[in-house]
Structure 1
Amino acid sequence: MGQIKKLQIAAYADATGVNQLLGTINAMINPASYSLSYVAEYELSKEDAASGPTQIFKGMGQSDLNLDLLVDGTGIIPIPDGMTVDGYIDRLQYLIFSYQGTVHRPNFLKVSWGSLVYKGVCKSFTTNYKLFNADGTALRAEVKLVIAKSLDFKSKKGLAKKESPDLTHIRTVKAGDTLPMMTYRIYGDASYYIEVARLNGLSSVHAIRPGDELYFPPLKKA
Protein backbone atom coordinates (compact mmCIF):
# COMPACT_ATOMS: atom_id res chain seq x y z
CA MET A 1 0.00 0.00 0.00
CA GLY A 2 1.16 3.56 -0.71
CA GLN A 3 1.90 6.10 1.95
CA ILE A 4 -1.18 7.83 3.37
CA LYS A 5 -1.29 11.41 2.15
CA LYS A 6 -1.21 13.90 5.00
CA LEU A 7 -2.96 17.24 5.10
CA GLN A 8 -0.46 19.90 4.04
CA ILE A 9 -0.27 23.61 4.76
CA ALA A 10 1.92 25.57 2.37
CA ALA A 11 3.01 29.14 3.08
CA TYR A 12 3.49 31.72 0.33
CA ALA A 13 4.67 35.30 0.15
CA ASP A 14 2.03 36.11 -2.48
CA ALA A 15 -1.75 35.84 -2.31
CA THR A 16 -2.09 33.59 -5.38
CA GLY A 17 -0.68 30.58 -3.55
CA VAL A 18 1.30 29.71 -6.68
CA ASN A 19 4.55 31.66 -6.57
CA GLN A 20 7.06 32.40 -3.82
CA LEU A 21 6.63 29.22 -1.77
CA LEU A 22 8.24 29.77 1.64
CA GLY A 23 7.73 26.35 3.20
CA THR A 24 5.32 23.53 3.95
CA ILE A 25 4.27 21.51 6.96
CA ASN A 26 2.22 18.30 7.09
CA ALA A 27 -0.26 17.30 9.75
CA MET A 28 1.09 14.60 12.05
CA ILE A 29 -2.31 12.94 12.04
CA ASN A 30 -5.01 13.76 9.52
CA PRO A 31 -7.95 15.52 11.17
CA ALA A 32 -11.10 13.54 11.92
CA SER A 33 -13.14 16.47 10.62
CA TYR A 34 -13.02 20.09 9.60
CA SER A 35 -15.66 22.74 9.06
CA LEU A 36 -16.19 25.39 6.40
CA SER A 37 -18.38 28.40 7.11
CA TYR A 38 -19.63 30.87 4.52
CA VAL A 39 -21.23 34.27 5.07
CA ALA A 40 -23.10 36.55 2.67
CA GLU A 41 -23.61 40.17 3.69
CA TYR A 42 -26.94 41.96 3.24
CA GLU A 43 -28.41 45.22 4.44
CA LEU A 44 -32.02 46.27 4.77
CA SER A 45 -33.51 48.54 2.13
CA LYS A 46 -34.11 52.08 3.36
CA GLU A 47 -37.58 52.95 2.03
CA ASP A 48 -39.97 54.74 4.38
CA ALA A 49 -43.01 52.99 5.88
CA ALA A 50 -41.92 49.59 4.56
CA SER A 51 -44.51 46.85 4.93
CA GLY A 52 -41.75 44.27 5.37
CA PRO A 53 -37.98 43.84 5.19
CA THR A 54 -36.08 43.61 1.91
CA GLN A 55 -32.49 42.41 2.03
CA ILE A 56 -30.08 44.12 -0.39
CA PHE A 57 -27.05 42.03 -1.26
CA LYS A 58 -23.75 43.78 -0.42
CA GLY A 59 -21.19 41.08 -1.14
CA MET A 60 -19.67 37.85 0.05
CA GLY A 61 -18.47 38.16 3.62
CA GLN A 62 -16.04 36.29 5.83
CA SER A 63 -15.52 32.60 5.06
CA ASP A 64 -13.51 30.40 7.42
CA LEU A 65 -11.88 26.99 7.56
CA ASN A 66 -11.88 25.62 11.12
CA LEU A 67 -9.25 22.96 11.54
CA ASP A 68 -7.97 20.98 14.55
CA LEU A 69 -4.53 19.34 14.37
CA LEU A 70 -3.32 16.78 16.92
CA VAL A 71 0.38 16.77 17.80
CA ASP A 72 1.42 13.59 19.61
CA GLY A 73 4.87 13.00 21.09
CA THR A 74 4.23 9.67 22.83
CA GLY A 75 6.07 7.79 20.08
CA ILE A 76 3.00 6.12 18.58
CA ILE A 77 3.56 8.19 15.44
CA PRO A 78 6.99 9.81 14.99
CA ILE A 79 6.99 13.59 14.71
CA PRO A 80 8.64 14.61 11.40
CA ASP A 81 12.35 15.49 11.49
CA GLY A 82 12.69 14.23 15.06
CA MET A 83 10.97 17.33 16.47
CA THR A 84 9.41 17.55 19.90
CA VAL A 85 5.76 18.55 20.37
CA ASP A 86 6.84 22.09 21.21
CA GLY A 87 9.24 22.15 18.26
CA TYR A 88 6.52 21.12 15.83
CA ILE A 89 4.10 23.72 17.21
CA ASP A 90 6.77 26.43 17.02
CA ARG A 91 7.47 25.59 13.37
CA LEU A 92 3.74 25.52 12.55
CA GLN A 93 3.16 28.86 14.25
CA TYR A 94 6.16 30.49 12.59
CA LEU A 95 5.13 29.30 9.14
CA ILE A 96 1.42 30.09 9.22
CA PHE A 97 0.81 32.75 11.87
CA SER A 98 3.91 34.73 12.80
CA TYR A 99 4.70 38.19 11.42
CA GLN A 100 7.25 37.88 8.61
CA GLY A 101 9.61 40.83 8.40
CA THR A 102 10.45 40.28 4.74
CA VAL A 103 6.83 40.71 3.63
CA HIS A 104 5.62 42.76 6.64
CA ARG A 105 2.70 40.46 7.42
CA PRO A 106 1.97 36.77 8.14
CA ASN A 107 2.19 34.43 5.18
CA PHE A 108 -0.56 33.52 2.74
CA LEU A 109 -1.60 29.88 3.05
CA LYS A 110 -2.88 27.01 0.95
CA VAL A 111 -4.37 24.02 2.77
CA SER A 112 -4.49 20.85 0.66
CA TRP A 113 -5.97 17.48 1.57
CA GLY A 114 -7.93 15.22 -0.75
CA SER A 115 -10.43 17.39 -2.61
CA LEU A 116 -9.89 20.30 -0.20
CA VAL A 117 -7.85 23.20 -1.54
CA TYR A 118 -8.36 26.31 0.59
CA LYS A 119 -6.43 29.56 0.27
CA GLY A 120 -6.38 32.11 3.06
CA VAL A 121 -4.66 33.54 6.09
CA CYS A 122 -4.56 32.26 9.66
CA LYS A 123 -6.52 34.61 11.90
CA SER A 124 -6.57 32.42 15.02
CA PHE A 125 -4.02 29.95 16.45
CA THR A 126 -4.91 28.24 19.75
CA THR A 127 -2.89 25.45 21.40
CA ASN A 128 -4.48 23.19 24.02
CA TYR A 129 -1.92 21.03 25.83
CA LYS A 130 -3.30 17.61 26.76
CA LEU A 131 -0.46 15.45 28.15
CA PHE A 132 2.94 16.11 29.75
CA ASN A 133 6.18 14.39 30.70
CA ALA A 134 7.19 14.30 34.34
CA ASP A 135 9.39 17.36 33.72
CA GLY A 136 6.45 19.33 32.34
CA THR A 137 7.37 19.16 28.66
CA ALA A 138 4.44 18.61 26.34
CA LEU A 139 3.62 15.13 25.13
CA ARG A 140 0.37 15.86 23.33
CA ALA A 141 -1.37 19.00 22.17
CA GLU A 142 -4.26 20.06 19.97
CA VAL A 143 -3.85 23.10 17.74
CA LYS A 144 -7.06 24.86 16.71
CA LEU A 145 -6.74 26.95 13.56
CA VAL A 146 -9.15 29.39 11.98
CA ILE A 147 -8.10 30.19 8.43
CA ALA A 148 -9.97 33.04 6.76
CA LYS A 149 -10.43 32.73 3.03
CA SER A 150 -8.37 35.24 1.06
CA LEU A 151 -8.12 35.43 -2.71
CA ASP A 152 -5.82 37.51 -4.84
CA PHE A 153 -7.58 40.30 -6.74
CA LYS A 154 -7.24 38.67 -10.16
CA SER A 155 -8.86 35.42 -9.01
CA LYS A 156 -11.57 37.30 -7.14
CA LYS A 157 -12.48 39.33 -10.18
CA GLY A 158 -12.73 36.18 -12.30
CA LEU A 159 -14.97 34.43 -9.76
CA ALA A 160 -17.26 37.42 -9.36
CA LYS A 161 -17.88 37.81 -13.11
CA LYS A 162 -19.29 41.26 -12.47
CA GLU A 163 -20.44 43.47 -15.31
CA SER A 164 -18.49 46.39 -13.87
CA PRO A 165 -15.48 46.28 -11.55
CA ASP A 166 -16.78 48.95 -9.19
CA LEU A 167 -19.87 46.98 -8.08
CA THR A 168 -22.18 48.88 -10.42
CA HIS A 169 -24.80 47.17 -12.56
CA ILE A 170 -25.48 47.46 -16.27
CA ARG A 171 -28.90 46.16 -17.25
CA THR A 172 -30.55 45.84 -20.68
CA VAL A 173 -34.15 47.04 -20.90
CA LYS A 174 -36.60 44.32 -21.87
CA ALA A 175 -40.13 44.62 -23.23
CA GLY A 176 -42.51 45.61 -20.44
CA ASP A 177 -39.78 47.03 -18.19
CA THR A 178 -40.30 50.33 -16.43
CA LEU A 179 -37.59 52.33 -14.71
CA PRO A 180 -39.17 51.96 -11.23
CA MET A 181 -39.48 48.21 -11.81
CA MET A 182 -35.82 47.85 -12.85
CA THR A 183 -34.71 50.04 -9.94
CA TYR A 184 -36.60 47.83 -7.52
CA ARG A 185 -34.94 44.69 -8.93
CA ILE A 186 -31.49 46.15 -8.29
CA TYR A 187 -32.00 47.93 -4.97
CA GLY A 188 -35.18 46.47 -3.52
CA ASP A 189 -36.52 50.03 -3.51
CA ALA A 190 -38.17 51.71 -6.52
CA SER A 191 -37.76 55.24 -5.12
CA TYR A 192 -34.29 55.66 -6.61
CA TYR A 193 -35.60 55.67 -10.20
CA ILE A 194 -35.39 59.46 -10.58
CA GLU A 195 -31.71 59.45 -9.63
CA VAL A 196 -31.09 56.55 -12.06
CA ALA A 197 -32.84 58.52 -14.83
CA ARG A 198 -30.65 61.56 -14.12
CA LEU A 199 -27.40 59.55 -14.13
CA ASN A 200 -28.35 57.94 -17.42
CA GLY A 201 -29.17 61.28 -19.04
CA LEU A 202 -32.81 60.35 -19.68
CA SER A 203 -35.13 63.17 -20.68
CA SER A 204 -37.94 61.41 -18.85
CA VAL A 205 -38.37 58.42 -16.57
CA HIS A 206 -40.44 56.95 -19.39
CA ALA A 207 -37.73 57.45 -22.04
CA ILE A 208 -36.50 53.87 -22.12
CA ARG A 209 -36.90 51.30 -24.90
CA PRO A 210 -36.18 47.59 -25.17
CA GLY A 211 -32.48 47.11 -25.90
CA ASP A 212 -31.34 50.25 -24.06
CA GLU A 213 -28.54 49.69 -21.53
CA LEU A 214 -28.90 51.49 -18.22
CA TYR A 215 -26.33 52.20 -15.53
CA PHE A 216 -27.30 51.51 -11.91
CA PRO A 217 -24.70 52.91 -9.48
CA PRO A 218 -23.93 51.64 -5.97
CA LEU A 219 -26.33 52.97 -3.35
CA LYS A 220 -24.87 55.69 -1.17
CA LYS A 221 -25.02 54.76 2.48
CA ALA A 222 -27.03 57.04 4.68
Structure 2
Amino acid sequence: MSIADTIMGLKKIKIESFEDAACSLSKKKGEIEAFINPKSYTTKKVIEYSTPEVISDSGQTYFFSKMGDETLVFDEIIVDGTGITESSTTVIPQDVETYIQDFQDIVCDYNGDTHGTNYLKISWAKLSFQCVCKSVTVKYTLFKPDGTPLRASITLDLQKNVDWEQKAKEAGNNSPDLTHVRTVKAGDTLPLMSYQIYGDSSYYLEIARVNKLAGVNAIKPGDQIYFPPLKK
Protein backbone atom coordinates (compact mmCIF):
# COMPACT_ATOMS: atom_id res chain seq x y z
CA MET A 1 0.00 0.00 0.00
CA SER A 2 1.33 3.44 -0.88
CA ILE A 3 1.93 6.23 1.66
CA ALA A 4 -0.95 8.25 0.20
CA ASP A 5 -3.32 5.33 0.54
CA THR A 6 -2.20 4.71 4.12
CA ILE A 7 -2.88 8.33 5.06
CA MET A 8 -6.30 8.44 3.40
CA GLY A 9 -7.32 4.92 4.45
CA LEU A 10 -8.38 4.17 0.88
CA LYS A 11 -10.68 1.19 0.46
CA LYS A 12 -11.43 -0.24 -2.95
CA ILE A 13 -14.82 -1.46 -4.12
CA LYS A 14 -14.83 -5.25 -3.79
CA ILE A 15 -16.84 -7.44 -6.14
CA GLU A 16 -17.31 -11.09 -5.15
CA SER A 17 -18.97 -13.78 -7.25
CA PHE A 18 -20.93 -16.80 -5.98
CA GLU A 19 -22.67 -19.81 -7.45
CA ASP A 20 -25.77 -19.37 -5.26
CA ALA A 21 -28.16 -16.44 -4.88
CA ALA A 22 -27.60 -16.32 -1.12
CA CYS A 23 -23.89 -15.56 -1.75
CA SER A 24 -22.74 -18.31 0.62
CA LEU A 25 -19.01 -18.33 1.40
CA SER A 26 -18.87 -22.04 0.53
CA LYS A 27 -20.10 -21.17 -2.99
CA LYS A 28 -17.70 -18.31 -3.61
CA LYS A 29 -16.02 -18.37 -7.04
CA GLY A 30 -13.74 -15.34 -6.95
CA GLU A 31 -13.35 -11.64 -6.31
CA ILE A 32 -11.81 -8.51 -7.76
CA GLU A 33 -11.34 -4.93 -6.59
CA ALA A 34 -11.92 -1.77 -8.60
CA PHE A 35 -8.68 -0.64 -10.22
CA ILE A 36 -9.60 2.96 -9.36
CA ASN A 37 -12.79 3.76 -7.44
CA PRO A 38 -15.45 5.68 -9.38
CA LYS A 39 -16.23 9.27 -8.43
CA SER A 40 -19.91 8.43 -8.05
CA TYR A 41 -22.56 5.76 -8.33
CA THR A 42 -26.33 5.78 -8.85
CA THR A 43 -29.02 3.78 -7.09
CA LYS A 44 -32.64 3.49 -8.17
CA LYS A 45 -35.70 1.81 -6.65
CA VAL A 46 -38.88 1.20 -8.64
CA ILE A 47 -42.31 0.77 -7.03
CA GLU A 48 -45.10 -0.63 -9.17
CA TYR A 49 -48.76 0.33 -8.81
CA SER A 50 -52.03 -0.73 -10.40
CA THR A 51 -54.92 1.56 -11.33
CA PRO A 52 -58.60 0.62 -11.64
CA GLU A 53 -60.33 1.36 -14.93
CA VAL A 54 -63.27 3.61 -14.19
CA ILE A 55 -65.48 5.22 -16.86
CA SER A 56 -65.31 9.03 -16.81
CA ASP A 57 -62.67 8.93 -14.08
CA SER A 58 -61.51 12.45 -13.16
CA GLY A 59 -58.10 11.22 -12.06
CA GLN A 60 -56.05 8.12 -11.33
CA THR A 61 -56.05 6.33 -7.98
CA TYR A 62 -52.96 4.19 -7.47
CA PHE A 63 -52.80 0.96 -5.47
CA PHE A 64 -49.52 -0.63 -4.45
CA SER A 65 -48.76 -3.70 -6.60
CA LYS A 66 -45.20 -4.76 -5.75
CA MET A 67 -41.66 -3.61 -5.29
CA GLY A 68 -39.98 -3.39 -8.67
CA ASP A 69 -36.34 -3.41 -9.69
CA GLU A 70 -33.60 -1.95 -7.52
CA THR A 71 -30.48 -1.06 -9.46
CA LEU A 72 -26.94 0.12 -8.81
CA VAL A 73 -24.84 1.73 -11.53
CA PHE A 74 -21.12 2.53 -11.34
CA ASP A 75 -20.68 5.09 -14.10
CA GLU A 76 -16.91 5.13 -14.47
CA ILE A 77 -14.44 2.66 -12.99
CA ILE A 78 -11.12 3.80 -14.44
CA VAL A 79 -8.49 1.26 -15.53
CA ASP A 80 -5.07 2.83 -16.07
CA GLY A 81 -2.05 1.12 -17.57
CA THR A 82 0.24 4.12 -17.91
CA GLY A 83 1.83 3.68 -14.47
CA ILE A 84 0.98 7.27 -13.57
CA THR A 85 -1.86 6.13 -11.29
CA GLU A 86 -0.85 3.46 -8.83
CA SER A 87 -3.24 0.63 -7.94
CA SER A 88 -2.44 0.09 -4.29
CA THR A 89 -4.67 -2.68 -2.93
CA THR A 90 -4.84 -4.86 -6.02
CA VAL A 91 -2.05 -6.45 -8.03
CA ILE A 92 -1.22 -4.18 -10.96
CA PRO A 93 -2.14 -6.15 -14.09
CA GLN A 94 0.28 -6.59 -16.96
CA ASP A 95 -1.97 -4.47 -19.14
CA VAL A 96 -5.43 -2.88 -19.27
CA GLU A 97 -6.89 -5.72 -21.31
CA THR A 98 -5.78 -8.32 -18.74
CA TYR A 99 -7.54 -6.48 -15.92
CA ILE A 100 -10.72 -6.00 -17.97
CA GLN A 101 -10.79 -9.69 -18.87
CA ASP A 102 -10.37 -10.63 -15.20
CA PHE A 103 -13.12 -8.16 -14.29
CA GLN A 104 -15.54 -9.57 -16.84
CA ASP A 105 -14.75 -13.14 -15.76
CA ILE A 106 -15.94 -12.21 -12.26
CA VAL A 107 -19.04 -10.16 -13.04
CA CYS A 108 -20.54 -11.79 -16.12
CA ASP A 109 -18.80 -15.07 -17.01
CA TYR A 110 -21.07 -18.03 -17.81
CA ASN A 111 -20.90 -20.81 -15.22
CA GLY A 112 -21.39 -24.21 -16.86
CA ASP A 113 -22.06 -25.89 -13.50
CA THR A 114 -25.08 -23.71 -12.73
CA HIS A 115 -26.06 -23.00 -16.37
CA GLY A 116 -26.02 -19.27 -15.81
CA THR A 117 -23.92 -16.33 -14.68
CA ASN A 118 -22.76 -16.07 -11.08
CA TYR A 119 -24.39 -13.94 -8.40
CA LEU A 120 -22.51 -10.91 -7.10
CA LYS A 121 -21.96 -9.08 -3.84
CA ILE A 122 -20.70 -5.51 -3.92
CA SER A 123 -18.97 -4.15 -0.81
CA TRP A 124 -17.70 -0.61 -0.26
CA ALA A 125 -17.83 1.11 3.15
CA LYS A 126 -21.50 0.80 4.25
CA LEU A 127 -22.62 -0.25 0.77
CA SER A 128 -23.52 -3.94 0.56
CA PHE A 129 -25.48 -5.01 -2.51
CA GLN A 130 -26.32 -8.57 -3.59
CA CYS A 131 -27.14 -8.55 -7.25
CA VAL A 132 -26.76 -9.84 -10.77
CA CYS A 133 -24.99 -8.09 -13.62
CA LYS A 134 -27.25 -6.50 -16.24
CA SER A 135 -24.47 -5.10 -18.42
CA VAL A 136 -20.79 -4.18 -18.57
CA THR A 137 -19.69 -1.41 -20.91
CA VAL A 138 -15.99 -0.76 -21.57
CA LYS A 139 -14.80 2.46 -23.18
CA TYR A 140 -11.14 2.62 -24.27
CA THR A 141 -9.73 6.15 -24.12
CA LEU A 142 -5.93 5.99 -24.47
CA PHE A 143 -3.66 3.81 -26.60
CA LYS A 144 -0.04 3.03 -27.34
CA PRO A 145 1.16 3.81 -30.89
CA ASP A 146 0.50 0.17 -31.85
CA GLY A 147 -3.12 0.37 -30.64
CA THR A 148 -2.67 -1.41 -27.30
CA PRO A 149 -5.10 0.12 -24.74
CA LEU A 150 -3.47 2.18 -21.98
CA ARG A 151 -6.61 3.47 -20.29
CA ALA A 152 -10.28 2.52 -20.18
CA SER A 153 -13.42 3.14 -18.16
CA ILE A 154 -15.97 0.52 -17.12
CA THR A 155 -19.67 1.19 -16.62
CA LEU A 156 -21.28 -1.52 -14.50
CA ASP A 157 -25.08 -1.89 -14.36
CA LEU A 158 -26.30 -4.14 -11.56
CA GLN A 159 -29.74 -5.35 -10.47
CA LYS A 160 -30.53 -6.31 -6.89
CA ASN A 161 -31.23 -10.00 -6.36
CA VAL A 162 -33.06 -11.60 -3.42
CA ASP A 163 -32.54 -15.34 -3.06
CA TRP A 164 -35.53 -17.69 -2.84
CA GLU A 165 -34.77 -18.71 0.74
CA GLN A 166 -34.88 -15.11 1.93
CA LYS A 167 -38.17 -14.60 0.09
CA ALA A 168 -39.59 -17.67 1.77
CA LYS A 169 -38.58 -16.38 5.21
CA GLU A 170 -40.21 -13.03 4.52
CA ALA A 171 -43.36 -14.52 3.01
CA GLY A 172 -43.96 -17.42 5.42
CA ASN A 173 -44.77 -20.96 4.37
CA ASN A 174 -48.44 -21.61 5.03
CA SER A 175 -49.85 -21.09 1.56
CA PRO A 176 -49.19 -22.57 -1.91
CA ASP A 177 -49.31 -18.98 -3.23
CA LEU A 178 -46.04 -18.19 -1.45
CA THR A 179 -42.44 -19.10 -2.09
CA HIS A 180 -41.12 -22.29 -0.46
CA VAL A 181 -37.64 -23.72 -0.04
CA ARG A 182 -37.24 -27.42 0.63
CA THR A 183 -34.18 -29.56 1.24
CA VAL A 184 -34.21 -32.82 -0.71
CA LYS A 185 -34.35 -35.95 1.44
CA ALA A 186 -33.72 -39.57 0.50
CA GLY A 187 -36.64 -40.85 -1.56
CA ASP A 188 -37.80 -37.40 -2.67
CA THR A 189 -38.73 -36.78 -6.31
CA LEU A 190 -39.81 -33.57 -7.98
CA PRO A 191 -43.39 -34.84 -8.60
CA LEU A 192 -43.67 -35.89 -4.95
CA MET A 193 -42.32 -32.58 -3.65
CA SER A 194 -44.57 -30.68 -6.05
CA TYR A 195 -47.58 -32.57 -4.67
CA GLN A 196 -46.53 -31.87 -1.07
CA ILE A 197 -46.23 -28.13 -1.75
CA TYR A 198 -49.03 -27.48 -4.24
CA GLY A 199 -51.30 -30.51 -3.89
CA ASP A 200 -50.57 -31.20 -7.56
CA SER A 201 -47.63 -33.22 -8.90
CA SER A 202 -47.93 -31.83 -12.45
CA TYR A 203 -45.78 -28.76 -11.69
CA TYR A 204 -42.55 -30.76 -11.53
CA LEU A 205 -41.36 -29.69 -15.00
CA GLU A 206 -41.76 -26.02 -14.11
CA ILE A 207 -39.89 -26.61 -10.84
CA ALA A 208 -37.01 -28.20 -12.75
CA ARG A 209 -36.91 -25.20 -15.10
CA VAL A 210 -36.97 -22.61 -12.28
CA ASN A 211 -34.11 -24.40 -10.49
CA LYS A 212 -32.12 -24.77 -13.73
CA LEU A 213 -31.89 -28.54 -13.29
CA ALA A 214 -30.39 -30.64 -16.07
CA GLY A 215 -33.36 -33.02 -15.77
CA VAL A 216 -36.28 -33.92 -13.53
CA ASN A 217 -34.17 -36.58 -11.82
CA ALA A 218 -31.15 -34.32 -11.28
CA ILE A 219 -31.68 -33.91 -7.53
CA LYS A 220 -29.93 -35.53 -4.58
CA PRO A 221 -30.31 -35.45 -0.79
CA GLY A 222 -29.12 -32.13 0.61
CA ASP A 223 -30.03 -30.06 -2.47
CA GLN A 224 -32.23 -27.03 -1.89
CA ILE A 225 -35.17 -26.74 -4.28
CA TYR A 226 -37.12 -23.53 -4.74
CA PHE A 227 -40.90 -23.62 -5.23
CA PRO A 228 -42.17 -20.24 -6.48
CA PRO A 229 -45.74 -18.93 -6.07
CA LEU A 230 -48.32 -20.59 -8.31
CA LYS A 231 -49.62 -18.63 -11.26
CA LYS A 232 -53.38 -18.82 -10.96
TM-score by length of 2: 0.66
The aligned residue for residue 88 of structure 1 is: 99
Q: Aligned with 1:38: secondary structure?
A: strand
Q: Aligned with 2:39: secondary structure?
A: coil
- Preserved contact between residue 17 and residue 121 of structure 2 (Cα < 8 Å): yes
The aligned residue for residue 130 of structure 1 is: 141
The aligned residue for residue 115 of structure 1 is: 126
Task: Give unpaired runs (5+ residues) of structure 2.
Answer: 1-6, 179-230
The aligned residue for residue 192 of structure 1 is: none
Q: Aligned with 2:105: secondary structure?
A: helix
1:77 is aligned, of 75, 86, 91, to 86
The aligned residue for residue 40 of structure 2 is: 33
Once the 2 structures are TM-superposed, how far is the Cα of residue 165 of structure 1 from its aligned partner?
7.5
Q: Aligned with 1:145: secondary structure?
A: strand
Q: In the aligned structure 2, how far is the partner of 1:116 from the partner of 1:107?
A: 20
Alignment of 1:51-200 (within 5 A): 51-67=58-74, 68-75=76-83, 76-78=85-87, 80-158=91-169, 166=177
Once the 2 structures are TM-superposed, how far is the Cα of residue 47 of structure 1 from its aligned partner?
3.6
Over 3 Å counting, the alpha-carbon distance change for 1:159 and 1:137 in structure 2 is farther
Q: In the aligned structure 1, how far is the partner of 2:106 from the partner of 2:77?
A: 15
Let me know the Cα RMSD of the aligned residues.
2.6
Task: Give unpaired runs (5+ residues) of structure 1.
Answer: 168-219
The aligned residue for residue 182 of structure 2 is: none
Q: Which amino acid aligns with 1:14?
A: D
Q: In the aligned structure 1, how far is the partner of 2:35 from the partner of 2:54?
A: 55
TM-score by length of 1: 0.68
Greater Rg by CA: 1
Measured against aligned partners, the alpha-carbon deviations of 1:135-182 in whole angstroms (never above 9, x if no partner) come to: 101100001010011110222344568997837xxxxxxxxxxxxxxx
2:14 is aligned, of 8, 20, 41, to 8
State how many pairs are aligned: 169
Identical residues among aligned pairs (%) = 39
Q: Aligned with 1:17: secondary structure?
A: coil
Q: Aligned with 1:155: secondary structure?
A: helix
Over 3 Å counting, the alpha-carbon distance change for 1:158 and 1:165 in structure 2 is farther
Once the 2 structures are TM-superposed, how far is the Cα of residue 31 of structure 1 from its aligned partner?
1.4
- Preserved contact between residue 73 and residue 158 of structure 2 (Cα < 8 Å): yes
Q: Which amino acid aligns with 1:66?
A: V
Q: In the aligned structure 2, how far is the partner of 1:14 from the partner of 1:165?
A: 24
Once the 2 structures are TM-superposed, how far is the Cα of residue 70 of structure 1 from its aligned partner?
0.7
The aligned residue for residue 31 of structure 2 is: 24
Runs of 4+ in 1 over 6 A off after TM superposition: 160-165
